[in-house]
Amino acid sequence: MEGGGRPSAAQAALLAASTAITALLYSVYRQKARVARGLEGARKVRLDGDLRAVLLEAPGRCMPYAVIEGVVRSVKETLSSQFVENCKGVVQRLTLQEHKMVWNRTTHLWNDYEKIIHQRTNTTPFDLVPAEDGAGVTVRVMKPLDAAELSLETVYEKFHPSVQSFTDVIGHYISGERPKGIQETEQMLKVGTALTGVGELVLDNATIKLQPPKQGMPYYLSTLDFESLLQKQESSVRFWKILTVVFGFATCAVLFFLLRKQYRHHREKQHLRQMQEEFRQAQERLMNVEGGETLKNACVVCLSSTKSCVFLECGHVCSCHECYQALPEPKKCPICRQGITRVVPLYNS
């Protein structure tokens, strides 16, 4: 603590940082909890012949947040994999990712570094259809790339290591960067994949559409079933809740430490004021006795008893016998701080 009992700059910064982190974690936790509650309250509908009738009865022919499960089927032409034969899909993502080692000048270690240098995503319109053939009802999936969770299967992955000469190796050590190679990946949402869609379900003329919800809730297109998707979100909520509680306790501990320091400083100030008041009262009592003559003969240590000792070799007469006995070893004169070799009693007549 600084003078006046105020916390130091480091302590104030620690408290502010801990409070800010706790507030940020709590905000994330609230958001995750809101998403989990919204997902738990989403209306589950079956992809069958009654779906159109259910939407006709809904306000505005719309379900703001609904869960539907079906199988992916392409509307027009499918997308073919560039690397795997007879692999058809409706979403295709091609990624080139650079891998290299970067020298950390602080830790003096080589750290892995990854960077996407190129990524392209191709889509084609697709529907969700019932797993059983012959139901005759489809749901058109709109804006699949806007989904918070879009499950894509990795169908091809290959790492192309960098070829380096001896001169390149020397240059990389000097520059602090060592390229490892390029990773080429192809991910696809294949035709026939079982998909769980969570979003706004709307009947637009004759077409049933699944699209991003307008209330700010997340849009899901996941290969997990609904129960697994809900458990995943609840696990995320618990994780952020634990982090919030841990940092909240840390913030409370820092605050308690600072308040305890402040309280102790306040008690010390009160004790000091009390001692000063007692000293002032003792002076007033001595001044009121015999016109102040007693104050002149009072012990400079306790200010209550009369002087009764002569300290040698300095010759000062400043203390009573009780205060002389209480002086710490080696005993020194309270006036000049010179060592006391012997004491001679003083007799007043």
Please state the length of the chain: 349
**Mean pLDDT to the nearest integer, 228-243:** 93
Enumerate the CATH 3.30.40.10 domain ranges in the chain, comma separated.
295-345
Band the pLDDT of 72: cuts 50, 70, 90: very high
Give the pLDDT of residue 48.
Answer: 85
Give the pLDDT of residue 287.
Answer: 62
CB 175 within 8 A of CB 245: no
Band the pLDDT of 104: cuts 50, 70, 90: confident
pLDDT digits (tens, 9 = 90+) for 40-63: 989 999 888 888 888 888 898 899
**Mean pLDDT to the nearest integer, 62-71:** 92
Residue in the block written with tokens 């073919």:
80
pLDDT digits (tens, 9 = 90+) for 163-185: 888 887 788 788 888 888 999 99
Give the pLDDT of residue 285.
Answer: 67
Quote the CA–CA distance of 19 and 24 in Å, as a whole number: 9
pLDDT digits (tens, 9 = 90+) for 285-294: 666 654 445 5
CB 311 within 8 A of CB 303: no
pLDDT digits (tens, 9 = 90+) for 89-101: 999 999 999 999 8
Q: What is the dihedral of CA 31, 35, 36, 38, to 10 degrees?
A: 130
**Cα 44 to Cα 68, 191, 218, distances in angstroms:** 6, 23, 16
Nearest to 196 by CA among 219, 233, 231, 223: 223
Contacts (Cβ under 8 Å, ≥6 apart) of 126: 72, 73, 74, 75, 90, 91, 141, 144, 189, 191
Long-range contact set of residues 7-15: C-beta below 8 Å, sequence gap at least 24 = 7/258, 7/261, 7/262, 11/254, 11/258, 14/254, 15/251, 15/254, 15/255, 15/258
What is the CATH architecture assignment of 295-345? 2-Layer Sandwich (3.30)
Tokens of 233: 């979100």
